[in-house]
Structure formats: structure tokens, C-alpha cells
Structure 1
Amino acid sequence: MTGYYAPKGGLPPQSALMTQRAVFTEAYAFIPKGCFSDIVTSYLPGWDNTRLWMIARPMSGFSETFSQYVMEVGPGGGSDRPENDPEAQSVIFMTEGEVWLSIDGQEHDLGPGGYAYIPAGSDWMVRNAHSAPARFHWLRKIWEPAEGIDRPEAFVTSDQEIAPIAMPDTDGRWATTRFADPTDLRHDMHVNIVTFQPGGLIPFEETHVMEHGLYVLEGKAVYKLNQDWVEVEAGDFMWLRAYCPQACYAAGPGPFRYLLYKDVNRHARLRGPWSRSG
């Protein structure tokens, strides 16, 4: 591993040509790293010296289950009450710098590669006590109760502590770092890291009910999104709605790695604004 890409903001010079690759379709969105500029940052109530890029949020008719923020917490910044929704569970994945994290009184120090699962209803805080900015991904989803199933417990680990599991018949060229046990039905979302070695590929068009957020941490690839082949690299983000076909070919000289969100382990919802009664 050579590190994790984290945006720094700024603006292109006025002399630059507009040659970006951003795409928004009915099936997917593609946000290249060049779109992470200062003019699209947001701020949150209850957070000090912190800005963020909101790269996914629930949208009717598109991806509907999660939000994803790229957080930048300056020295001394953070929050004593970061979450405003008691039903929201969270995952934090560190890409740069260090933070102090407290979950229900349990304290942790997270550096690059650090991973924390924070159950819905937790009392948690996060602070940057260092002189350099800290950058991390914050993914949020409403935890969906199920009969006989308790809420998951909080846990803190890191990319470095979890061994990737190779996909069958791939000779290790395609592997997944699974932070939560996929058979643990308490978890209704997974946030994993997928790694392809150079030349590794998804050799078929995955087409499934899970929606995805994919943030490229490292490397380069060509990614199939619906009907389009898109060149992607570290710092790019892909947002796929359910059933959007996808495939991948790792085309760079080094590993291609991305942070992957998906919703799992629950029944399909049969009632909503699209349903009729009677």
C-alpha cells in the first residue's frame, strides 16, 4: 500500500482548460477528483474548524440508502455531538492525519487506514488534537431493525489489521478487506475495501440490488458503469444505484483499491411513495 488519496481543495487556475470527466446519469454518478474544489464544500452544525464534501445523499429515484462525506478537520477541530439523527449508524475511514475518537466512553486514536463502526444511538465524539488537518470518510445509514436481531456493537480496527480475502479462482488478483462479518445479520450495511492487483478484473457485469458508493483510494482502472467504460483513478468517486451493471479492469502499474459501500441483509421494502393500497 502506498497510501490513501485525500482531496486538498483549492481551485484550478483561470488559465486551465475545462477537461473534467464528471457524469450524472439515471443509473450512476461519477465525480472525478478535480470536482473536489473549495467552492463545493459544506459545513455542519456542531462541528468546529471542519469542512466537508458531500458526495452522496439519499435522492428519490436514484441511490436511496446512505450518505457519504469526505471530512477535513483542521487542528483543534471536530465535534462533541457529531450526529443529529439517533437512528443513523456510521462508519469512519481515515485517509490522512490522526483523530481522537470516543464511542460511549471508549477512547481510540485513529490514523491513516483506521476504521470505526459506530452503532445508531451511540454517544460519540471526534477531535483533531494535532497540528495538521485530518481527513476521513464518514458514511451514514439509518439502521433498519429486524425481528430478533440486536444492533451491532461498536468496533475499531484498521486496514492494516484485516487480511484481504481473495475472491475464488482469482489467484489473489481480486480481494476484499471485510471489516464486518458478512454473515452477521445485525449489519445492514458493509463498508469494505476492494483491491485489484495490476491486470485483475471483474470478468462479468455485476448486476444486483445493492447500491454502491466507490471511492478510489489508490491506483487506476477502467470501470464499466451501466453502458459506459470510464477511466478512474485515485480520488475519483462512483455512485451506483441498484441494478446498475458494473465491471472493472485494473489498468495501472500498481494496486487499484477502493472504499466500497453496499446495503445488505434486509428484506426489500414493499411500501413507499410508489406503492398503492386497496
Structure 2
Amino acid sequence: MVEQDWIGARFAEHQDRLHAVAYRMLGSRGEAEDAVQEAWLRVSRADTDQVENPGGWLTTIVARVCLNMLEARRNRREESAGALPAEPQASVRPPGQDGPEAEALLADSVGVALTVVLDQLAPAERLAFVLHDVFAVSFAEIGTIIDRSPTAARQIASRARRRVQGAADASDAARSAKREIVEAFLAAARGGDFAALLDLLAPDAVVGDLRGGQEVATFFTGRAQGARLALVDGVPAAVWSHLGRPKAVITFTVDSDKITHIDVNTDLDRIQDIDIIVLPADKERR
């Protein structure tokens, strides 16, 4: 009973980190919950006499559970040739890491770009990259989880890091261009500039039941007064808030520098699960 109490206390102490590891590894809140629950079942049956570092031991168990889930997911994809939908990601600061390199990595680790490329990595690559670069787990520990030497684990993480960085670099230009388009749209809407709105919209633009650039431009002319430029799951968008709480998220689909679709999401349950960073407007940045 005393041992079970000790295990329960250590698990509760590290539970937030374990959830963060599982969430970043799997990219799904539901799967992360399942992984942590499975880890608890394993922990509750384990012999803890030789455990000297409870946090590292628990992280290893969760990581192994996640690795099994990633491998099973990959097998299902190969069988069905389908793709799992990505869910919103939240930024996690690796404990004990500071400085420009860590900050740059964390900036790259937020949003859709990382989610997409992580889903393309092999399970061992994803585990090595996430555990080392995001959670500062040593290559020696990672090697024991994936049954490789520390040197091999380092090489695997390095290969994954190059792919992640490449995806981030490729997405930077697209994000920058989209940000300018969204910012211009908001400015034109607030200023009542119908002609500017029409120029930003594709002829067949869609917003809800509205069809066509003319109809959409007419609707937004003079509107969006309280909307602010934001990153929504890492992608330029707009957010309308009331008393400091987001009440509506406006996302834009852009093709060939024209807005083809605008979606206005007012579902508060969904909004609270979205990663939102309000950005300064162009005049505020100067």
C-alpha cells in the first residue's frame, strides 16, 4: 500500500509533463489521454525498487506507449492509404532550456507546419526529435526507448530536425504572404473600401451562404471593426474578442493571392481548444 501511494504521488507530480509529452508525440488530445492512462496501468503494476529518477522513468514509459501508438497508426495508414486529421497544437517550453536556439525551435514547434511534417516522420524519428528538442531528454535515454545507441538516436533526431526545419522554412514565405493579405482585408473592411476588398477576393469567393466576390465584399464593407490579426494554430487569421475572451475566429483560404473562402467560427467549445496568438497590426509594429 505504501508503494502504491508512492507511485500515485510521483505520477500526480509529473502528470502535466506526461500529458505534454504524449500530446506533442501524438498530436491528439484524445490519444494523449489514452497514452497517459495506459502508462498509469503499466506504472501501477511495475516494480519501483530500482527507480532512482521517477520523472525520467515515467517519461520513458509514456514515450514507449506513444511509440507503440505511432507505429500502430502508421500501419493503419499504410493499410488504408488514408491520413489522420491534425488537431491543434500547443507550445511547450522544454525545462531548463533558454537562449536563441531554444526560442527559435519553440517558435517553429507551434502550429500547423510542425504538425504536418511530424506526421510524415517515422515513429522513431518523431520520438527522438520531440523528446530531445522539445523536452530535453538525453540521447542515452532516447536510445533505450527506441532500442538504439545514443549515437544512432542523435543521428535519427538530426535527420528529423532537418526535415522539420525544411518544412518550417518552406512555410515561412507562405505565412508571410497570407498575413499581408489578411491584414489588408481587415484594413479594407474596417475602412469601408469596397474596391480594395473586391481586389483581394476571388470572383467565386464564399462566406457561409454568400457567393461571389461582389456579395462577400458588400457584406464585409464597414465591418470587422473589432477583429484583430492573429495566428490561429500557427496560421494568419483574425479573432474577435469580448472582455478579453475570443468569441469568433475568422479563417481565410488563399489561392493565388486571392481569398477564396472565409470561415467564421463562433463555437466557443471549439475556440477554447485553438491556439490563438493576437498579433500587432502593421502600424503597431512600426
Higher RCO, 1 or 2 (CA under 8 Å, sep at least 6)?
1
Band of TM-score, shorter chain: under 0.3
Larger relative strand fraction: 1
Query: Normalized against structure 1, the TM-score is what?
Result: 0.26
TM-score by length of 2: 0.26
